[in-house]
Amino acid sequence: METKLAQLKSLLIEASNLEAAARLLAWDRNTYMPPGGGPARGRQIATLRQLAHEKWTDPQVGRLLDDLGPYAESQPYESDEAGLVRVARRLYDRLCHVPSWFMADFYGHTSVTYEAWSQARPENDFGRVLPYLKKTLDLSRQYSGYFSDQEHVADPLIALQDYGMKATTVRDLFAQLRQELVPLVQTITAQPAADDACLRQGYPPREQLAFALEIVRQFGYDLERGRMDETPHPFTTYFSIGDVRITTRVQEHDLSEALFSTMHESGHAMYEQGICQDYEGTPLARGTSSGMHESQSRLWENIVGRSRRFWEGTYPRLQATFSQQLGDVSLDTFHRAVNRVSRSLIRTDADEVTYNLHVLLRFDLELDLLEGTLTLADLPEAWRARMEADLGIVPPDDRDGVLQDVHWYTDFIGGQFQGYTLGNIISGQIYAAALAAHPEIEDEMAQGAFGTLHGWLVENVYRHGRKFTADELITRVTGRPLSIEPYVRYLKTKYGALYEL
Amino acid sequence: METKLAQLKSLLIEASNLEAAARLLAWDRNTYMPPGGGPARGRQIATLRQLAHEKWTDPQVGRLLDDLGPYAESQPYESDEAGLVRVARRLYDRLCHVPSWFMADFYGHTSVTYEAWSQARPENDFGRVLPYLKKTLDLSRQYSGYFSDQEHVADPLIALQDYGMKATTVRDLFAQLRQELVPLVQTITAQPAADDACLRQGYPPREQLAFALEIVRQFGYDLERGRMDETPHPFTTYFSIGDVRITTRVQEHDLSEALFSTMHESGHAMYEQGICQDYEGTPLARGTSSGMHESQSRLWENIVGRSRRFWEGTYPRLQATFSQQLGDVSLDTFHRAVNRVSRSLIRTDADEVTYNLHVLLRFDLELDLLEGTLTLADLPEAWRARMEADLGIVPPDDRDGVLQDVHWYTDFIGGQFQGYTLGNIISGQIYAAALAAHPEIEDEMAQGAFGTLHGWLVENVYRHGRKFTADELITRVTGRPLSIEPYVRYLKTKYGALYEL
């Protein structure tokens, strides 16, 4: 069995080598590639992805998994061997359920859809993308149909990002959250908005980037095994546990951009850097789900990075670095500025409180479309109605409504958005558990020290990689299943204090 | 036949995609990879190279080449179709002649040899590498033995870098060159050496890099299809005709380092950028040989970049950029400084005149070793004797003698060095042909314009890629076979003027 396990690992590591190469080619395209490299680069990435797919679906992988199945089940569930076989089996089955011609067709379709969207959005022309979206919806249902054991048509699509989460469970959870958030937003926005003028002065980009990088280094992002570059859209990518990179962006007249983008990506990156080195090159060496990943980016960006205790320790240095801009700005003013809540149209610009309402809207509309209770022709109107109901504002056009996010125009309809809000909910629950275990975390934070929190997260979350599902991990780490309660309590406590509610 | 040609291209483009990915991973390792990425990166590159090899040696490639052979022969020799089939056949046969286990063994051996050399060189301990070198020599002969049609044991090794060149021809050519160079070096070095103190002042690195980049942009290096980064050892690499990158290095107290390294690499890069776009992704989309490649790096670095006419146009700008350092330095002084000739121990530090003597020494010793007329145990002494005979100096130790170059410790013995001097010889012959066709080239150069020269090289050399062998190309471009005469005339004219011989 050890020989077979070694053979399986060796095949999967080859696939992982190809996937890592594809990601490096994509990273390079986003960072340093000269414009002339574009056409060949697309072709090169496609070859690598196709070969990785072939390696994964090699019948030899299936035979080894068959042979190893009983052995793996005889091992403790927590053992690395059982975990590897379990996760590899799941991924192998998922890839084998779907014919490769279907995925090739789908990628072809998304690439023309993206083209159409790129033109339709500036022209505010939903009609232009409508026929493409109809096909996307058909293909999304068809993809789902390849999996016979689903409870809900969206389940196989959700499983692509958040394995183990079910559409009906998530819908219920989100409905509870909405009931809390809508009145909270109403209460907060009934008050005068916080003044964030202090953030909108001129801040030299180079100094901003250096400051942001120093913060995430203190958080625990290891620059011996990572680096930071600039891109228009920040992202995290990894080539091995020893090489997990982030990108960020900087705006001279918005201090919050580089600061919080960098913290956000560092959360993703510390998760990947914290995975057990023994898993290197295997399917265990990833964050376990989109929601769990987002919980870490949000934890470091929001729960830590926008907290009063954090800035108690860090604001004096920020003030010293930008003394001309912030010399006369109090900690309270700055802290309120970086936590400004306002009703706005664009998800990616939204604050911590309203953000989830944008996500819930999209998630519910996805389910309605998949179930057939909403038609695509009615989607723009449904979007407006829900914005009105939840946020009390209505987008003046589709450009800032149904055309705003790229997701439906480059991927399936279904499974695209739940991870963002699952991440917020999970971040609250996990942070509460960390605090319960180590009440000193916030005092340390106020001293600019993050070792206890980071160490606890590595030990309890990061090192496991994909061995446990998000659900399993949450229960192991917090002693109970996923619940909105800690997250809602966090929001109410924080914003209650900020707005003296 | 068109379908089969398309099938062949499509298979070869897949192999090319994998090779390009492997090169990007290597480029990243040399430029931006954090230290922690090292172990996984080696594994990733190995997978890509192995799969590229599998794609190349796929029996389907052989069948298509068999089917296309007669068709290709019926086409004009100059046609792209005939060229593609001819070059692909040659490369396919070369790869198939050698068992893949042999190459795997050889790579394993070179990797331990490199380790041993890395320790032996600082410790000046040739004895430590001797057993490894013995195996390298055996394996080099064994590699050669896989090719039955050789005239000389070194021919298959030379063909890896300089296809078409034969050991005996090159040896004769180099012997002629040596007869010219040894007395020339004696005459020059009998005079007082040029004073290059002006180059050894403090020059801010950032300004040096900007100036060097601007020069090569003027030469014709297209930054929309390339970029420059810093590495300890400069190199050129390409990922497609639209993405050919150079690296350079800079020393604050040696102005010549960044300037001439950048010019050198830009010559390699302009060659690859100039290849006909129709060849993209096929085996035709490369420079045709090591010698031809080196002829272009040397042409731009030395024949153009160290010429009096070039600096007539460019020195005033250099002076304006570094007015504090060069304000009082005359053009003559500067020009003599960048053409300083001196007898030195290290090949890579050698000037334009003595450089070839270092190469000839290594080439002749490689042949002697392969032929068995020299044993490895006697190699250090043979090195010293030849240095004494040709350059009149003797290395005080093996560190700066037989241990100085990495080549024999990472690759075969044989075929490693001839390209450098072939490049110099070819550069003289090709430049003479360019001047004959366009006598205005040097007047333009003195105005800082290089379009005529660059355009002529693209049209006559670069665009053909690998369609013609170096020999064929030289005859096509210059109207006669390779000869040392133009290069020797160039050296004698230039250094005759500089040293008033």
Closest by CA position to A365, among listed A147, A167, A88, A212: A167
Nearest by CB to A37, from B36, B44, B243: name it: B243
Non-local (6+) Cβ contacts of B66 within 8 A are: none
Contacts of B35 in chain A (CB under 8 A): 224-225
Mean pLDDT in residue range B6-14: 97
Q: Domain for residue B151, yes or no?
A: no
A20: which 2 tokens? 């890592």
Closest residue in A to B242 (Cα) is: A36
Give dist(CA A343, CA B468) in Å, integer: 67
Identify the band that residue B330 occupies on the pLDDT scale cut at 50, 70 and 90: very high
Give dist(CA B314, CA B450) in Å, integer: 12
Single out the residue in A68, A97, A126 at which a domain terminates: A97
Contacts of B37 in chain A (CB under 8 A): 225, 239-240, 242-243
Q: Do A243 and B20 touch (CB under 8 A)?
A: no
Q: How far is B311 from chain A (nearest CA, A)?
A: 30
| Residue carrying structure tokens 């195996």 | B135
Identify the band that residue A148 occupies on the pLDDT scale cut at 50, 70 and 90: confident
Non-local (6+) Cβ contacts of B395 within 8 A are: B345, B383, B384, B387, B401
Q: Do B17 and A44 touch (CB under 8 A)?
A: yes
Is residue A463 located within the same domain as residue A321? yes
Is residue A445 located within the same domain as residue A311? yes
Q: Do A48 and B17 touch (CB under 8 A)?
A: yes
Q: Kindly indicate whether the ipTM for this predicted assembly is greater than 0.85, answering yes or no.
A: yes
Q: In degrees, to the nearest 5, what angle opens at C-alpha A96 toward C-alphas A93 and A98? A: 115
Is residue A93 located within the same domain as residue A202? no
Nearest by CB to B34, from A44, A51, A223: name it: A223
Give dist(CA B473, CA B166) in Å, integer: 16
Residue B265 bears catalytic tag: yes
- Return the amino acid letter for B369: L
Chain B residues within 8 Å of chain A (Cβ atoms)? 13-14, 17-18, 20-22, 24-25, 28, 32-41, 43-44, 46-48, 51, 222-227, 229, 239-243, 245, 280-281
Q: Do B21 and A281 touch (CB under 8 A)?
A: no
Q: Any long-range contacts for A58-65 (C-beta under 8 Å, 24+ apart)? A: A58/A11, A60/A7, A60/A11, A61/A8, A61/A11, A61/A12, A61/A88, A61/A92, A62/A92, A62/A96, A64/A4, A64/A7, A64/A8, A64/A11, A65/A8, A65/A89, A65/A92
Give dist(CA B116, CA A467) in Å, integer: 40
pLDDT at A59: 96
Is residue A331 located within the same domain as residue A466? yes
The pLDDT tens digits for A110-135 are 999 999 999 999 999 999 999 999 99
Q: Do B13 and A43 touch (CB under 8 A)?
A: yes
Q: Domain for residue B426, yes or no?
A: no
Q: Domain for residue A177, yes or no?
A: no
Give dist(CA B312, CA B332) in Å, integer: 10
Mutate to test the interface with B, among A16, A18, A19, A24 (most CBs of B within 10 A): A24
Spatial contact of B163 and B474, defined as CB atoms under 8 Å apart: no
Non-local (6+) Cβ contacts of A471 within 8 A are: A164, A165, A481, A482
Give dist(CA B346, CA B403) in Å, integer: 11
Nearest by CB to A25, from B21, B35, B46: name it: B21
The pLDDT tens digits for B396-433 are 999 999 999 999 999 999 999 999 999 999 999 999 99
The sign of the CA dihedral B104, B109, B115, B118 is: negative
Identify the band that residue B9 occupies on the pLDDT scale cut at 50, 70 and 90: very high
pLDDT at B268: 98
User: How far does CA B227 lie from the centroid of its chain?
Assistant: 19
- Report how many Cβ contacts below 8 Å link chain A to chain B: 129
Count of CB atoms situated within 10 Å of the CB of B425: 27
Q: How far is A429 from chain B (nearest CA, A)?
A: 32
Give dist(CA A391, CA A368) in Å, integer: 20
Catalytic residue of the set A19, A265, A352, A366: A265
The pLDDT tens digits for A389-448 are 999 999 999 999 999 999 999 999 999 999 999 999 999 999 999 999 999 999 999 999
Domain encompassing residue A11: 2-97
* DSSP three-state, residue B24: helix
The pLDDT tens digits for B33-74 are 999 999 999 999 999 999 999 999 999 999 999 999 999 999
Single out the residue in B64, B97, B130 at which a domain terminates: B97
Give me chain A's average pLDDT, please.
97
Q: Within 13 Å and on the Cβ side, how many CA atoms surround A31?
A: 22
Q: Region of A468 please: left (phi>0), alpha (psi -120 to 50) or beta.
A: beta
Contacts of A24 in chain B (CB under 8 A): 21, 24-25, 28
Q: How many domains does chain A have?
A: 2
pLDDT at A100: 87
Give dist(CA B231, CA B27) in Å, integer: 10
The pLDDT tens digits for B140-193 are 999 999 998 889 999 999 999 999 999 999 999 999 999 999 999 999 999 999
Closest residue in B to A33 (Cα) is: B243
Q: Do B28 and A28 touch (CB under 8 A)?
A: yes
Closest by CA position to B306, among listed B491, B176, B455, B32: B491
User: How far does CA A320 lie from the centroid of its chain?
Assistant: 33
The pLDDT tens digits for B268-319 are 999 999 999 999 999 999 999 999 999 999 999 999 999 999 999 999 999 9
A11: which 2 tokens? 């095949």
Q: How far is B265 from chain A (nearest CA, A)?
A: 17
Contacts of A39 in chain B (CB under 8 A): 240, 242
| H-run or E-run covering A255 | helix A255-273
Q: Domain for residue A111, yes or no?
A: no
The DSSP string of A293-326 is HHHHHHIIIIIITT-HHHHHHHHHHHHHHTHHHH
Mutate to test the interface with B, among A27, A44, A241, A273 (most CBs of B within 10 A): A44
In chain A, pLDDT over 90 holds for what percent of residues? 98
Nearest by CB to B243, from A36, A227, A241: name it: A36
Give dist(CA A28, CA A49) in Å, integer: 16
Count of CB atoms situated within 10 Å of the CB of B346: 11
Q: Domain for residue B208, yes or no?
A: yes
Identify the band that residue A500 occupies on the pLDDT scale cut at 50, 70 and 90: confident
Closest residue in A to B282 (Cα) is: A40
Contacts of A25 in chain B (CB under 8 A): 21, 24
Contacts of B281 in chain A (CB under 8 A): 40, 43
The pLDDT tens digits for B203-227 are 999 999 999 999 999 999 999 999 9
Closest by CA position to B294, among listed B104, B421, B158, B453: B421
Please tell me the pTM assigned to this model: 0.95
Closest by CA position to B242, among listed A42, A19, A21: A42
Give dist(CA B65, CA B14) in Å, integer: 16
Spatial contact of B64 and B4, defined as CB atoms under 8 Å apart: yes
Is residue A213 located within the same domain as residue A80? no
Identify the band that residue A146 occupies on the pLDDT scale cut at 50, 70 and 90: very high
* pLDDT beyond 90 at A329: yes
Contacts of B30 in chain A (CB under 8 A): none
CATH code of the domain containing A447: 1.10.1370.30
Q: Domain for residue B477, yes or no?
A: no
Contacts of A35 in chain B (CB under 8 A): 224-225
pLDDT at B400: 96
> What is the DSSP-derived secondary structure letter of residue A192?
P
Single out the residue in B82, B97, B112 at which a domain terminates: B97
Give dist(CA B180, CA B360) in Å, integer: 13
Mutate to test the interface with A, among B30, B236, B240, B275 (most CBs of A within 10 A): B240
The pLDDT tens digits for B336-380 are 999 999 999 999 999 999 999 999 999 999 999 999 999 999 999
The pLDDT tens digits for A236-280 are 999 999 999 999 999 999 999 999 999 999 999 999 999 999 999
Spatial contact of B306 and B487, defined as CB atoms under 8 Å apart: no
pLDDT at B150: 85
Contacts of A224 in chain B (CB under 8 A): 34-36
Chain A residues within 8 Å of chain B (Cβ atoms)? 13-14, 17-18, 20-22, 24-25, 28, 32-41, 43-44, 46-48, 51, 222-227, 229, 239-243, 245, 280-281
Nearest by CB to A18, from B34, B38, B47: name it: B47
Nearest by CB to A28, from B24, B44, B224: name it: B24
Give me chain B's average pLDDT, please.
97
A493: which 2 tokens? 């406590």
* pLDDT beyond 90 at A197: yes
The pLDDT tens digits for A91-105 are 999 999 999 899 989
Q: Domain for residue B153, yes or no?
A: no
Q: Do B227 and A25 touch (CB under 8 A)?
A: no
Q: Domain for residue A71, yes or no?
A: yes
Overall residue count recorded for chain B in this entry: 501
| Residue carrying structure tokens 């990075």 | A305
The pLDDT tens digits for B456-482 are 999 999 999 999 999 999 999 999 999
Catalytic residue of the set B257, B265, B272, B366: B265
| Residue carrying structure tokens 């070096």 | B185
Give dist(CA A180, CA A118) in Å, integer: 36
pLDDT at A501: 81
